[in-house]
Structure 1
């Protein structure tokens, strides 16, 4: 992918969004969507629209088109997706590919038909090659092999980026894409089978601390490096991009720094009060060796992360404990 797409047909100058215009957040009850909703409320948006998966199945094309016809939003953030960690992605690749493709195509096609002016599509940093040069720049997309443990999910997200670019070329609409790094925070999925690495570690260590367990066993070697961004920072970045950035290339959203899985495990153990030992099951996969995003494009657009990792972890652990009886299993 090149940094400049000469076929792009958009002539648009980003500016402040109309706070009274209708704004649809697809996936508004998920980790990212709920944070975006909170941010928009705090910023004074008065006409927010959201539907739970029980109210609107985004895989149902007819239902999605009927929803857009009825609500006709001016702005959309597409944060809805089927997501999960290494275990879920490895076990159910068909679900991750099929569900996400249908969600994306249905929402984007309906948004096009019913005249959505400004749309932000949220992808994932797993779109980049497994062995991409670090930190990962946006133009490394489609330059190498994907990480096998989540390639199906990655392909779906890559298709979303290309659909955004195609809409820009064919219809001249100022739609954009953002690729967040590993996210965490209030509203995360702490399920033992469906969670990503950080919430899985929070649950594991907190339960071990509560039970007085002598040790905790984690997957892999602990050596892979990961970048973590608090979801409230992500939400702020999304609104900032919608108001300050336009272009066909996806924008990386992260902190620009990373830590090892071992380091993050030790920090979580300290935060939750676990004093036992940590073992590593090296027969389990590590996933990508390192995944650190180059966030220079985001910085050029005028935004940098604000919430420190330990500060964010403490607030996330507090949220997890307060909601322990109502978490997804």
Structure 2
């Protein structure tokens, strides 16, 4: 079982999810945390990952490392989203198994489920239909990771678990308008439009799709819960079980930021999946539920964005 002395490797510790997991573990008094930057350890390099695990031999692994992005980034870089994510997770999961790591948590996304499936989406919906084309490359990679975890549990009785969060947001999110997801993109768009005299804000699609959002500190709490407990299943959805239309989300963010201009919906752009609501009953029955309500989470995320806005923009203009 997990204790304060356990050596815990967090892959992707500088990303939104990984940094939240790191914060959570530190808050709970876990000090024996292990992590490497991408310049120190290339997770796409099988030999380097293997050597790292042989030398450090962590007790527990949290795989939060991935190449991520929104509809535009997935559509423009299909090879990178498929190949790099397969490489990263294959190397981490295989090394964990080879080094007899006691517990591993693999983090994925709700996009693993079919585009047209019963709502809310249960874990049993996996591989029952076609994926959403705009993010199928990332989804296929993550499905492979889920199946690797399932295979290792089934064949070797490994205590490995896959957690599939719904749409995440929070500190250390990606606010680059070329590659970000919808919620952080809206925060930046409305903020910059407000700063420029409340000019109109252009948004993609019709605003009718429904989405569920979870603060990243809640998914970190779910990871901590999973580390501490013996989980019956190999796959768990992690979310709120509540969704909101993209239009209502835009109006909520607009109100929080104080933007007083118009919203211009570009209906020539894709909406993506009509609805993505997670069935979180399996995780709830295990004993975990979310804590942070959407409005509160957006307010705190906007405050974080304002504090780090200059640093965010500096990173974007680096060659």
For 1:171 and 1:244, the matched residues in 2 are separated by 19
Partner of 1:33: 18
The answer to whether residue 209 in structure 2 is matched with residue 234 in structure 1 is no
Deviation at 1:258, TM superposition (A): 0.3
The answer to whether residue 92 in structure 2 is matched with residue 107 in structure 1 is yes
The answer to whether residue 240 in structure 2 is matched with residue 244 in structure 1 is no
Structure 1: stretches of 5+ with no match in the other structure: 1-15
Tell me which of the two structures has the higher relative contact order, counting C-alpha pairs closer than 8 angstroms and 6 or more residues apart: 1
Structure 2: stretches of 5+ with no match in the other structure: none
Query: Does the 8 Å CA contact 1:168/1:248 hold for their aligned counterparts?
Result: no
Partner of 2:204: 219
Partner of 2:59: 74
The answer to whether residue 244 in structure 2 is matched with residue 259 in structure 1 is yes
TM-score normalised by L of structure 1 = 0.94
The answer to whether residue 291 in structure 2 is matched with residue 323 in structure 1 is no
The answer to whether residue 270 in structure 2 is matched with residue 270 in structure 1 is no
For 2:199 and 2:168, the matched residues in 1 are separated by 29
For 1:315 and 1:17, the matched residues in 2 are separated by 30
Deviation at 1:244, TM superposition (A): 2.4
For 1:60 and 1:299, the matched residues in 2 are separated by 37
The answer to whether residue 161 in structure 2 is matched with residue 196 in structure 1 is no
Query: Does the 8 Å CA contact 2:70/2:182 hold for their aligned counterparts?
Result: yes
SS of 2:39's partner is coil
CA deviation profile, 1:10-34 (whole Å, cap 9, x unmatched): xxxxxx5121010000000000000
Query: Does the 8 Å CA contact 1:214/1:276 hold for their aligned counterparts?
Result: yes
Partner of 1:131: 116
Query: Does the 8 Å CA contact 2:160/2:234 hold for their aligned counterparts?
Result: no
For 1:247 and 1:85, the matched residues in 2 are separated by 32
Within the candidate set 130, 134, 140, 1:145 is matched to: 130
Deviation at 1:247, TM superposition (A): 3.5
Structure 1 vs Structure 2 CA RMSD: 0.9
Query: Does the 8 Å CA contact 1:24/1:50 hold for their aligned counterparts?
Result: yes
Query: Does the 8 Å CA contact 2:231/2:286 hold for their aligned counterparts?
Result: no
TM-score normalised by L of structure 2 = 0.97
For 2:223 and 2:6, the matched residues in 1 are separated by 17
For 1:142 and 1:249, the matched residues in 2 are separated by 15
SS of 2:93's partner is helix
Partner of 1:314: 299
For 2:236 and 2:102, the matched residues in 1 are separated by 19
For 1:202 and 1:29, the matched residues in 2 are separated by 21
- Figure out how many residues of one structure are paired with residues of the other and give that number: 314
The answer to whether residue 300 in structure 2 is matched with residue 280 in structure 1 is no
For 2:233 and 2:85, the matched residues in 1 are separated by 21
SS of 1:222's partner is coil
